[in-house]
Structure 1
């Protein structure tokens, strides 16, 4: 992996930063993208073989400037991890168009823009794309009309990428995390919510950031060389259970 290069968006925290650290540990070089410049610089401090790039992935101009800068620094690009996302929740009748656009700009447009800009470099390396969607893109839930729809669209975009880019040897896959024990989630989830998730998840727990990163790293690796167009829920079985399981389990 000494010469392989991964681009990770939303790299300043959470699943993105966990993915950066895991890829580095496995010998990759990593371009870290985020629009939170202070947090990005802090996250990248002391990381050998990683370089931060300030970039708002919803901005076509910034993406167009950043991809050449990454290639200028590293000389190649072997994997793109589209992890950057925003989460804004609210009842469907209270979701105005401004909120809808904020969510779509980053969660969907950002995935499209970064991948489009990276395709020529990925052709050269027969590289891989890993898009991060959500369990909310696989099953509907309250308060997530914009978020869930954006993630469902990322799932379909992944399939399109796999179908159209396979002839160049480029693989495209999608990871759908379930509830993950991030600092933000633990700060906003009440005990009642935590208990409800535990009841609904067959593994009876939240996932961890590193558990999601492990799946991402696998899909970027040569071990997944014949895996493309796949939608993988890393969710403790949450998506598979449908309805009724909590009551039956008692």
Structure 2
């Protein structure tokens, strides 16, 4: 039990990577706050992992006071807080022509500012427990795809915040801050996006080797397995680190010759 008796907030955990992290955390002995926008899906997650192990909070993470309400719920239910996972995010297509100020502000509010506010709200309790923050970024933080401009900007900013606070908070508060950058992951949302693009539901079964050298893309459970290390005491004093979770190097890789591929991760 690598997370025995730890109390963890996982934002965006009604589906996808967040759901997998929450379920894996409970299997390792933690109790979790499930958060998201989809009440029916959230209720199902709580049912799957056991009502004694989870509480559900449905709210847009960018709402004023939402971060404090998540922290208050954890403290009210279990009296402590050991870790937060900033996973909730808007993954929306945009480029230089379609990204206006309002759109960019909205993406930044959810993907970058809301995680910062949750860290702020949780910090007094994480200081008490000498806890951990795990930010869920994206390999798009390094530069991003042509049609993921605003999203890539937001994840790049999150990565810089992780490195900055990872240094500051371990020194001043004993709180570790780290980040994982998943690559292409087979989530429910990814399947929906590809369906909206007109692809068959079996699109992921035959991918170009350029994007799936191993013959498939990542599973949410594999991201969750990696997350447990950063949330547990096994990672010791390590802080301010960003780890890419993809099956090929992001920097120095040859660009594709065919730009009409399926990717758009």
Superposition TM-score, scaled by structure 2 size? 0.86
Aligned position for 1:58:
62
Matched residue pairs, number?
247
- Distance verdict in 2 for CA 1:186–1:246, change over 3 Å: farther
- Distance verdict in 2 for CA 1:103–1:197, change over 3 Å: farther
Which whole-Å deviations, capped at 9, do the CAs of 1:59-85 have from their partners, x for residues lacking one? Answer: 232222331221111111111100000
1:146 to 144, 150, 174: 150
- Distance verdict in 2 for CA 1:170–1:66, change over 3 Å: same
Shift of 1:222: 1.0
Q: Which has the higher helix share?
A: 1
Aligned position for 2:262:
none
Q: Tell me, in whole angstroms, the C-alpha distance in 2 between the residues paired with 1:171 and 1:202.
A: 33
Which whole-Å deviations, capped at 9, do the CAs of 1:110-129 have from their partners, x for residues lacking one? Answer: 11111110000000000000
Structure 2 residue ranges without an equivalent (≥5): 259-265
Structure 1 residue ranges without an equivalent (≥5): none
Q: Tell me, in whole angstroms, the C-alpha distance in 2 between the residues paired with 1:72 and 1:141.
A: 42
- What value does the CA root-mean-square deviation take over the aligned residues? 2.2
Secondary structure of 1:226's counterpart equals coil
- Distance verdict in 2 for CA 1:244–1:54, change over 3 Å: closer
Shift of 1:241: 5.1
Q: Does 1:44 align with 2:36?
A: no
2:207–2:215 Cα contact (<8 Å) kept: no
Secondary structure of 1:172's counterpart equals strand
Q: Does 1:199 align with 2:210?
A: yes
1:198–1:206 Cα contact (<8 Å) kept: no
Q: Tell me, in whole angstroms, the C-alpha distance in 2 between the residues paired with 1:146 and 1:138.
A: 13
Shift of 1:244: 4.4
2:166–2:240 Cα contact (<8 Å) kept: yes
Q: Tell me, in whole angstroms, the C-alpha distance in 2 between the residues paired with 1:244 and 1:98.
A: 32
- Distance verdict in 2 for CA 1:8–1:96, change over 3 Å: same
Alignment of 1:1-250 (within 5 A): 1-48=3-50, 49-167=53-171, 168-189=173-194, 190=199, 198-240=209-251, 242-244=253-255
Which whole-Å deviations, capped at 9, do the CAs of 1:37-56 have from their partners, x for residues lacking one? Answer: 23222221242211112232
